[in-house]
Amino acid sequence: MRAIAEVRNLLAAGITPPPLADEHCRACSLRDLCQPDAVHDQSGRQAALAHLFEPKD
C-alpha cells in the first residue's frame, strides 16, 4: 500500500524519478526515450542542465 501511495504522490506532483541505469534498463522498451546512461551520469547531467536554457547567438 505504501508503494501505491508514493506512486500516486509522484503522479500528482508531476515528478518523474530518475532512471536507475541498471541491468533492467537494457531490456526496457523506453530506453531510447529515457536515456538512462546519459541522465544517470551526474557530471554529464549537471553539464547538460547548466547549458539547457542558454540562448544561441
Nearest Cα to 36, choosing from 48, 26, 46, 47?
26
How high is the pLDDT of residue 36?
78
The amino acid present at 45, given as its one-letter code, is R
Pairwise CA distance, residues 47 & 45, whole Å? 5
How high is the pLDDT of residue 35?
79
pTM for the model stands at 0.39
How high is the pLDDT of residue 46?
72
Domain residue ranges of the chain, discontinuous segments joined by + = 2-51
pLDDT in tens, the chain (57 residues): 899 998 899 889 887 777 777 887 788 888 888 877 776 666 666 777 777 777 776
Q: Cite the beta strand spans of 1-57 per DSSP E.
A: none
Cell numbers of 44, please?
A: 554529464
Pairwise CA distance, residues 51 & 44, whole Å? 11
How high is the pLDDT of residue 26?
80
